[in-house]
Amino acid sequence: MTPVVQLRGVVKIYHMGAVEVRALRGVDLEIHKGEFVAIMGPSGSGKSTLLHLVGCLDRPTSGEYRLEGQDVSRLDDDTLSEVRNRRIGFVFQTFNLLPRLSALQNVELPMVYAGVPRRLRRQRALELLGRVGLADRVHHRPRELSGGQQQRVAVARALANEPSILLADEPTGNLDSRSGEEVLALFQELNEAGATIALVTHDPEVAGHARRVVTLRDGHVVRDEPVHSPRRARDELRLMPAGPDG
């Protein structure tokens, strides 16, 4: 079966003024449908760069990136926008919701750019917010929601156009441990339902929730191994005292 993500010899070099930064120095990586991969590494290891490339926010300097078999390493900006819109779902550390829009409108946003008709869009956004447990918060603005709730809105937004892969960049980094665990529980549920997920983190405990851990160092993949018994977020939650989010 065609892998969802297939990187071959991917190199990424930045020029920051006169300084050349070699963020990725030849990365080979495959992520298959239904996987839950954690990408780990210390800061400066190139994991954020890798996430940007996989998320089609950027193009590799050299090497090849195939997304579901299609070479996307040389596409122009607008085509990359379309690829991100239809096939990538982003979840960021800082949530990155639009503050003026309600939870519902935030979830609708990718569908607006996909040209989904208004009524269908609304219906699907409501459905997604229900799925992440926010059916009673659809008209709240981000600042009226807790961090955990905001991140769940972000997850709902990421799922809006049924992407091929969900990419999360330190999704628990700005959350208390309980809210973080809840987001991880959501990821695990989505993964069990068939979603492909790649999660970037520097935290081994967070990475322990994935089923496979890829470790980066100095722009190389230095380790790529399965997690034999992933931590179950639902079980962890049971051991925690009840938080403000309930």
Partner 1 sequence: MGLWEAVEQAWDALRANPLRSVLTTLGVVIGVAAVIALVSVGQAARSRVVGEFASLGPDLLWVLPGKAEEGQQFATQEGRFTLTFADAQAIEREARAVAGVAPWLQTSIEVSGGGRREVTTVIGTTANYLEIRGLRLLEGRFLSEADMQRRKRVVVLGEVLARQLFGSPRWALGRRITINGRAFEVVGVLRPQGQVLGVDLDDRAYIPFSTAQLLFQVNYASFLFVKAQDTASVLRAQREVERVLRREHGEEDFTVLTQSQFLGALDAILRILTIALSSIAAISLLVGGIGIMNIMLVSVTERTREIGIRKAVGARRGDLLVQFLVEAVAISLVGGVLGMGVGLGASWAIAARLLDQPPTASASLPVVVLAFSFSVLVGVVFGTYPAWRAARLDPIEALRYE
Contact pick of 46, 60, 110, 219 for partner 1 (by CB under 8 A): 110
Residues forming beta bridges with residue 89, ordered by sequence position: 166
Residues forming beta bridges with residue 30, ordered by sequence position: 6
Residues numbered 83 to 102 that lie near partner 1 (CB under 8 A) are 84-86, 90, 92, 96-98, 100-101
Residues that bind partner 1 (rule: CB under 8 A) add up to a total of 27
Distance CA 27, CA 7 (A): 7
Q: How far is CA 134 from CA 45, 65, 127, in A?
A: 36, 36, 10
Nearer to partner 1, 198 or 213 (CB): 198
The answer to whether residue 164 forms part of the interface with partner 1 (CB under 8 A) is no
Q: Which stretch binds partner 1 (CB under 8 A): 128-136, 157-165, 170-178, 232-240?
A: 157-165
By rule CB under 8 A, what string of x and - marks binding of each residue 114-143 to partner 1?
xx----------------------------
What is the dihedral sign for C-alpha 223, 224, 227, 228? Answer: negative
Euclidean distance between the first and final Cα of the chain, in Å? Answer: 41
Q: How far is the CB of 62 from partner 1 (least distance, A)?
A: 19
What is the dihedral sign for C-alpha 122, 187, 11, 45? Answer: positive
Contact pick of 73, 149, 151, 161 for partner 1 (by CB under 8 A): 161
Nearer to partner 1, 50 or 213 (CB): 50
In 3D space, the residue among 84, 49, 72 whose CA is nearest the CA of residue 200 turns out to be 49
In 3D space, the residue among 220, 196, 222, 223 whose CA is nearest the CA of residue 210 turns out to be 196
> Under the rule (CB under 8 A), what is the footprint of partner 1?
52, 55, 57-58, 77-78, 81-82, 84-86, 90, 92, 96-98, 100-101, 109-110, 112-115, 157, 160-161
